[in-house]
Amino acid sequence: MKNTNDLKEIWKQNESSTIPSLKEVTTTANGTIAKTRNKLFLVAVPMAALLGFLMYHLITAVSEPLITKIGLGLICAGILLYLVVSNSILNMFLRNEFNADSRTFLYKMIELKRKLEMLYKTVLNIYFIVFTVGIFMVLSQTTAAESTTYKIVTFIGTSAWLAFAWFFLRPREMKKIAKITESVNALQSISSQFAESV
């Protein structure tokens, strides 16, 4: 019996109108993978630069009050956590793990979906909490000598930006998981039909 590890060969043997074409599903999945890779890279580079700047400031700022140092430390910890998890996903792309046979492609898509869910649900929530606490610790110290109006404007502006990021930008990122889930579900349905027919 011929080795049927490659889903493309099995697909050619089994035509069904209930399942989308394999080419269509893989094209959609590859497009989603490319967009995800580019987005993660475009976020990781500025965050790494910001982390470097904050770490430099944290190390060289001897005269800063303790609350400012703790706030900067929390901000750095949040950024570092996000970068570690997103870089593990970027490593999947750099190693070209998605250029294998169809079965391996399916497993890598499932792994990508799992890692993105962890990044956008768990890690991003922790990042926002730690970042918010850190930024308000820094702001409370840096605005201590300013007027009440300046403090109010600063805290309202910062709160508005954080609310915008939490309620608008974060849900947009969650939609990426939905696109990958669609691709994974389609690939799994194709794979399960092939397993039944073999």
**pLDDT single digits (tens) 39-61:** 888 989 999 999 999 898 888 87
- Asked whether residue 3 is assigned to any structural domain, the reply reads no
The answer on pLDDT for 148 being more than 80 is yes
pLDDT value at residue 126 = 92
pLDDT value at residue 21 = 65
Q: Which of 7, 141, 131, 125 is nearest to 69 (CA)?
A: 141
Tokens of 17: 């109108």
Distance, CA of 151 to CA of 144 (rounded, Å): 8
Lowest mean pLDDT among 48-62, 88-102, 128-142: 88-102
- Asked whether residue 125 is assigned to any structural domain, the reply reads yes
- Confidence label for 18 from pLDDT (cuts 50, 70 and 90): low
Distance, CA of 134 to CA of 128 (rounded, Å): 10
- In whole numbers, what is the pLDDT of the chain averaged over residues? 80
The answer on pLDDT for 3 being more than 50 is no
What residues have CB less than 8 Å from 191, skipping those under 6 apart? 7, 102, 103, 106
- Asked whether residue 36 is assigned to any structural domain, the reply reads yes
- Asked whether residue 171 is assigned to any structural domain, the reply reads yes
Distance, CA of 108 to CA of 80 (rounded, Å): 25
Q: Which of 109, 105, 89, 108 is nearest to 41 (CA)?
A: 89
Overall number of domains in the chain = 1
pLDDT: which is higher, 24 or 194: 24
- Asked whether residue 160 is assigned to any structural domain, the reply reads yes
- Asked whether residue 143 is assigned to any structural domain, the reply reads yes
- Asked whether residue 12 is assigned to any structural domain, the reply reads no
pLDDT: which is higher, 122 or 180: 122
Asked whether the beta carbons of 191 and 7 are under 8 A apart, the reply is: yes
pLDDT: which is higher, 170 or 12: 170
pLDDT: which is higher, 130 or 106: 130
- Confidence label for 97 from pLDDT (cuts 50, 70 and 90): low
pLDDT value at residue 1 = 43
Q: Which range marks the domain in which residue 114 is found?
A: 21-197
Lowest mean pLDDT among 21-35, 50-64, 184-198: 184-198
- Asked whether residue 6 is assigned to any structural domain, the reply reads no
